[in-house]
Amino acid sequence: MRFRDLNLKSKQLIAFGLVLIVVLAAGGFIIHRMTILKESFDEVATNWLPRSVAIAELSRGISNYRTLALQHILTPNPFEKKSLEKLINLQIEQIQDYLDSYESLRDRAKERGLISTAEDSLYEMFDSDWDAYQSVFQEWFLLSQQIEIEGSKRQIPGEGADQLIAGEGAILHDNIRWILEGLVENINSDAMSAATKAEELHRTTRQVLAVLLAISFALSGIIALTMTRLIANPLKKLADATESVSQGNLELQLDVSGKDEIGSLAQSFDRMAKSLREARAKMEQQAERLRQQNSELESTLKQLHETQEELLLKGKMASLGKLVASVAHEINSPIGTVLGAADVSERALQKLKDSLHSKLSEKEIQSDEQLARSLKALNENAALTITASQRIAAIVKSLKSFSRLDEAEFQTVNIHEGIESALVLLGSKKLAGISVVRQFGKLPALGCYPGLLNQVFMNILSNAAEAISEIGTITLKTYHQNGELIVEISDTGVGIAKDRLKTLFDFGFSSDSSRVKMGTGLLTAYNIVQKHGGRIEVESEVGQGSSFSVILPLR
């Protein structure tokens, strides 16, 4: 398992563990060294030096011993001799103490292996001489006190006690002094070298410590950098990536390998981004579908609106048609009566005129002004009544034929009839100033919905009449060719602008007059013509006039 793949806790533990180990090692090393140094210094203070001092004092004690003995020799006073003997005794005790002191210190040092062979040898040498030295003193004392120990043989026959001290004693004493000096020197030099070693140890300890500190600093630094790289950088990458995603950028891929927590987090992130991308794609697809549906719905809605309008109008038309039909029907009988009456009046008038003429001459009739005027008035009015009644009758007839809108029956008719009835319905007022030119060709009967077609003609004629401001001409041309029946309605009106031509057949009412328009605009006309399988073509020139052609197939 590579280091990269360990989890974060393990990584951190290992990293800090390393640092800890180094620090502990350094600490342990220092403590160990310090202990050794302390021991060394302690040694010097509590053993080397006291030992050296003990020997120095021993040497002095032994010299004192000798001095006292010499004093004992020199003094003739027995009391002084006695007191000196006491002092010598004390001195011997002191020497014992120094020896004890030295030996115990030495034994302690020996346990630590700090006694050199030289020191040991020197001490043994001293001891041997000290032994001999004391033999001499013993001998001297025995001699000086004239004590004889039974069986003892004197080594030095005939010589005085003093000679012992002065002679052999002196030699031994010098030896002892020399040995002890050597011993002191030895101890001191050993102590010195021990101290020097301790100092050296101290110096190297400082050096090693400095190196260890440097290592642990470096190691800590490296570890800190490594941890940054292994933890902080990936985290930053992750944070940036997350921020990027929140801004809407889903195309990121982190590609962080490694099996620790950071690695798995990054991988989860990638998976999440992928899911988001897919979700977004799906959403966009759905949005697109919704848009399509929406536009379909909109067009359907539009169609429905149109259909609704159509139906509404058809309804209106139907009821209107019914109204018209019933009104026409109602009017018909009184009109018949009026026409009849007018006709009778005319004939009666004629009879009156005839009878007058038989009785009176023309001149006489003319000279009676009242009579002449009355006759003229009667004549004119009768004619007027007839004309007006005929007109009414014609209008009613047209209305009736027009009200066949609601019937919408398929019939075979002559479309000229429809055109004529449309003209009639338009009325003289509308057609005032307009001359209507008929160029009717020979047309076969057309199978169609005459009610509807009449609406078309009505509409177009109405527009043509409107387009002409004061004086103009509406030309009606009908012919057939290539299996098609063509009705051309041209006017010399204001014309239609090119851009308006495009929206000509669009939905819209024009309500610029008080008169209700029959027909629902060119849109309905277009629809009706389309229903017949035909088309309407328009040509127009602004200022010149327009020409509407209704083209219908002949079945």
Partner 1 sequence: MAICLLIVRETRTAEVAIIAHPLVQEDSLDKKLLYNVYRGEVRSWDDGTKIKVWELGERGETRESFYDYIGIRPSRMKSLWMKQLLTGEGEPPAEAETQEEMIKNVMATPGSIGYVDKKLVGNGVKLLLLIDNKESKKPDK
Stretch that binds partner 1, among 124-132, 251-259, 320-328, 492-500 (CB under 8 A): 124-132
Q: Work out whether 120 is an interface residue with partner 1 (CB under 8 A).
A: yes
Q: How far is CA 517 from the centre of its chain?
A: 63
Q: Work out whether 93 is an interface residue with partner 1 (CB under 8 A).
A: yes
CB proximity list for 37: less than 8 A, separation 6 or greater? 198, 201, 202, 205
Residue with tokens 């027995």: 78
Stretch that binds partner 1, among 121-129, 265-273, 457-465, 509-517 (CB under 8 A): 121-129
The C-alpha atoms of residue 493 and residue 491 are separated, in whole angstroms, by 5
Question: Least distance from C-beta 120 to partner 1, angstroms?
Answer: 4
The C-alpha atoms of residue 164 and residue 92 are separated, in whole angstroms, by 18
CB proximity list for 506: less than 8 A, separation 6 or greater? 523
Question: Least distance from C-beta 137 to partner 1, angstroms?
Answer: 6
Question: Least distance from C-beta 139 to partner 1, angstroms?
Answer: 10
Q: Work out whether 110 is an interface residue with partner 1 (CB under 8 A).
A: yes
Q: Work out whether 95 is an interface residue with partner 1 (CB under 8 A).
A: yes
Tell me the per-residue interface mask from 296 to 335 with partner 1, x by CB under 8 A, - otherwise.
----------------------------------------
Q: Is the dihedral of CA 447, 452, 453, 454 positive or negative?
A: positive
Nearest to 310 by CA among 302, 448, 294: 302
DSSP letter string, 309-331: HHHHHHHHHHHHHHHHHHHHHHH
* Inter-residue contact 230 to 4 (CB < 8 Å): yes
The C-alpha atoms of residue 171 and residue 166 are separated, in whole angstroms, by 8
Question: Least distance from C-beta 114 to partner 1, angstroms?
Answer: 9
Stretch that binds partner 1, among 118-126, 256-264, 500-508, 509-517 (CB under 8 A): 118-126
Question: Least distance from C-beta 88 to partner 1, angstroms?
Answer: 6
Which residues, numbered 272-301, are part of the site for partner 1 (CB under 8 A)?
A: none
How many residues sit in the footprint of partner 1 (CB under 8 A)? 36
Q: Work out whether 85 is an interface residue with partner 1 (CB under 8 A).
A: yes
Q: Work out whether 260 is an interface residue with partner 1 (CB under 8 A).
A: no
- C-alpha separations of 184 from 55, 57, 63, 116, 176 in Å: 6, 10, 16, 13, 12
Question: Which DSSP letter does residue 516 get?
Answer: P
Amino acid at 407: E
Q: Work out whether 113 is an interface residue with partner 1 (CB under 8 A).
A: yes
Written as six digits, the tokens of 277 are: 């991308």
Of positions 18, 30, 56, 92, contacts partner 1 by CB under 8 A: 92
Tell me the per-residue interface mask from 125 to 164 with partner 1, x by CB under 8 A, - otherwise.
x-xxxxx--xx-xx--xx----x-xxxxx-----------
**Which H helix or E strand runs over 391?**
helix 369-402
Instruction: Name the site residues for partner 1 (rule: CB under 8 A).
Output: 85-86, 88-89, 92-93, 95-96, 99, 110, 113, 115-117, 120-121, 124-125, 127-131, 134-135, 137-138, 141-142, 147, 149-153, 175
